[in-house]
Amino acid sequence: MPLTILFMPESAYGPTNNCIGIGDILRKRGHRVVFAAEASWKGKLEALGFEEDLVDLAPPSEEEQDAGQFWKDFIRDTAPEYRKTTAEQLETVTKPIWDALIDGVKYCEPQLKAIIERVQPDVIVEDNVITFPALMTAGKPFVRIVSCNPLEVRGENAAPVFSGLPADDRSEWDAFRAEYDRTHREVWTAFNEWCVAQGTAPLPDLDFIHEGDLNLYVFPEIADYTDARPLGPNWHRLDSSVRETDDAFELPESLAGDGALVYFSLGSLGSADVELMQRVIDVLGTTPHRFIVSKGPLHEEIKLADNMWGAEFVPQTKIIPMVDLVITHGGNNTTTEALHFGKPMILLPLFWDQYDNAQRMHELGYGVRLSTYAFTDEELTGALDRLLGDTGLRARLAAAGEEIRRRDGLRKAADLIEQAGA
């Protein structure tokens, strides 16, 4: 029986692309797939064959906005805070993000109820970090996807979420958790009370989202925290969730030649920090390697070196298989896609989940985490040469990538969502 499946991703490229990948499999199986995405995605999801029934998370802008524009603006405005420690960012970056998310939840609650009434979904799928009560109280199977950072699901033996602290050194864990409590207790308490007033169960302590009837999280087993933080039977790991909807890509003639091929991206949000983008590009331009650069929304302000090609948007999932190494901000999509295709990484984290993902890759030896704003030229070029020259690591990652791809997280997710709606 065909199902009607309602997806609500967070309005950024990472969660939306993850839902696009899973939704595309379900659509091809004959199910009706509807996106209750944020309004700036208008037309982009319909073009991929989905229905759109979109929401506003704030009063609509009079000007047409790019997809995910709210968070691009937010990141641009808060960029100076990324030079602070993760503990300092709790008050100046992390809490303001929660505040903005909560405002969006409250604003769109009546819209979501109307969408659910119109769409009559059999299953509701949310890929976000925060509860939308309308999705929880609709009386339909609710699927939660964690495509940002598996440390969102906490455990006493796992490093605190958003900290970027090492797994094998607990000396700073308690202090970070105490600072999180200090900076977030009040806003969490108010949000919890509001959610309960809308008809949900109470939230877990200091968490902003409930578990689902079914819970999926995107992170390869080779990097997972399974032993430190075992999960219950309604949790399922997707080793990867790599969309198959990106356009084909041919290597530009200007990049033909010798030297390793490297992909550089700070994500759709991080790339809005033009000063940082240009700093990395200027250092990479001194090396003998070739680079594909995802330039992001402010692409016209970024000047590439002669050994580079780039564009505002690039088909990342078609490019990563071609390259020898990935330089990334540590967003969960790019991190897991690099592992999916068996590539080592250099990681330059900025905010939110990126510190945790960068630290995990570094401590497991799958990449090198650098100080994003304080790295020296020699540290970046040295990490590049060391990882490219480590044939043993590259062989291990290539084999790991084969196994991750064999597990086919996209179709596993689609199967589980179908079972939830059966």
Q: What is the pLDDT of residues 29-67, one digit of tens each?
A: 999 999 999 998 999 999 999 999 999 998 887 776 666
Contact 67, 40 (CB under 8 A): yes
Phi-psi region of 28 (alpha: psi -120 to 50; beta: other; left: phi over 0): alpha
CA-closest candidate to residue 86, choices 365, 279, 358, 367: 358
Fold adopted by 253-406: Rossmann fold (3.40.50)
pLDDT at 184: 98
pLDDT at 270: 82
Tell me if domain 4-242+408-421 and domain 253-406 are identical in fold.
yes
Looking at domain 4-242+408-421, which of 3.40.50.10380, 2.60.40.2130, 3.30.43.10, 3.40.50.2000 is its CATH number?
Answer: 3.40.50.2000
Amino acid sitting at position 194 = W
Q: Which residues, given as ranges, of the chain have pLDDT below 70? A: 64-72
Domain coordinates in residue numbering, the chain? 4-242+408-421, 253-406
Q: What is the pLDDT of residues 114-131, one digit of tens each?
A: 999 999 999 999 999 999
pLDDT at 79: 77
pTM for this predicted structure: 0.91
Residues 8, 14, 17: CA angle, nearest 5 degrees: 65
CA-closest candidate to residue 241, choices 2, 4, 25, 393: 25
CA 29 – CA 412 distance, rounded (Å): 13
pLDDT at 69: 67
